[in-house]
Amino acid sequence: MKDENMFEELLQEDDSLTEKQRQILIAATEMFAEKGFAATSTNEIAKKAGVAEGTIFRHYKTKKDLLLSIVTPMMLKMLGPIILKDLNKVLNKDFEHFEDFVRAMIKNRQEFLEKNLKVVQIFLQEVPFHPELKEQFIEHIGKKVINRLIQIIEHYQSKGQIVKLPATTVIRLAAPTIMGFFATKYVLGVKWDDEEEINRMIHFLKKGLAPEE
């Protein structure tokens, strides 16, 4: 299954799903990522999955149930543990310099995104409109990641490498820059030399978050 993304691997491992359900979920993932939840009809999903539209409603009462069947297992069974496991490869390693930590974090998240881009797109598109998804994300992923990032920021502040602002402020200042890199590359499709662009981004963050003299 080297060519399949991690969501499809998860579906194949779930013995509770029929083959038609797997086809429906894969088709819905592709359609939601391409057009968004609101703009995608169940008829379009059925055609892409090669099933009758009525088959969808035999398994999922509403289109939102279908969405939640994609995002919820991704978050609870895969995204949560894998995000934390992958992040811990970076978060639990003691980098000498703040910029080394940032570089490792960016590359770690880039690898994850490239393997799971469609489902991540759906998640980012739909979370603002579905509070239950936001609550699940905060509970299973957000709190743990933020708490660990605060510890790491305070560590580099104690070493005199980052300005002594509240750690949550440092996160707020750095996160949009890093997220902007991914949004520009994967959402807007801008082409560049990744290594060079990452170097520029790290230089910008290092200068902007440098301790006051």
Position 73 scores a pLDDT of: 63
Listing DSSP states for 161-183 in one string gives -S--S-HHHHHHHHHHHHHHHHI
Position 166 scores a pLDDT of: 97
**What is the enclosing helix (H) or strand (E) of 22?**
helix 19-35
Position 36 scores a pLDDT of: 81
- How far apart CA 117 and CA 7 sit, in angstroms, is 10
- How far apart CA 39 and CA 106 sit, in angstroms, is 32
Total-model pTM: 0.65
Position 142 scores a pLDDT of: 78
Position 3 scores a pLDDT of: 37
- How far apart CA 146 and CA 123 sit, in angstroms, is 19
* Residue that has been written with the tokens 């570089």 in this structure: 103
Amino acid occupying residue 46: A
Of 60, 26, 73, 59, which is closest to residue 45 (Cα–Cα)?
Answer: 26
CA 6 to chain centre: 12
Position 71 scores a pLDDT of: 66
Q: What share of the chain is helix, strand, coil (3-state, %, to 5)?
A: 75, 0, 25
Of 130, 31, 116, 106, which is closest to residue 74 (Cα–Cα)?
Answer: 116
Q: Which stretches of the chain score pLDDT less than 50?
A: 1-4
For residue 69, give every residue at least 6 positions away whose Cβ sits within 8 Å of its Cβ, in sequence order, or none.
Answer: 25, 60
Of 69, 89, 90, which is closest to residue 7 (Cα–Cα)?
Answer: 69
Contact 138, 121 (CB under 8 A): no
Crossing angle for the helix pair 80-91 and 143-158, nearest 10 degrees? 10
Position 26 scores a pLDDT of: 87
* Residue that has been written with the tokens 């994609």 in this structure: 70
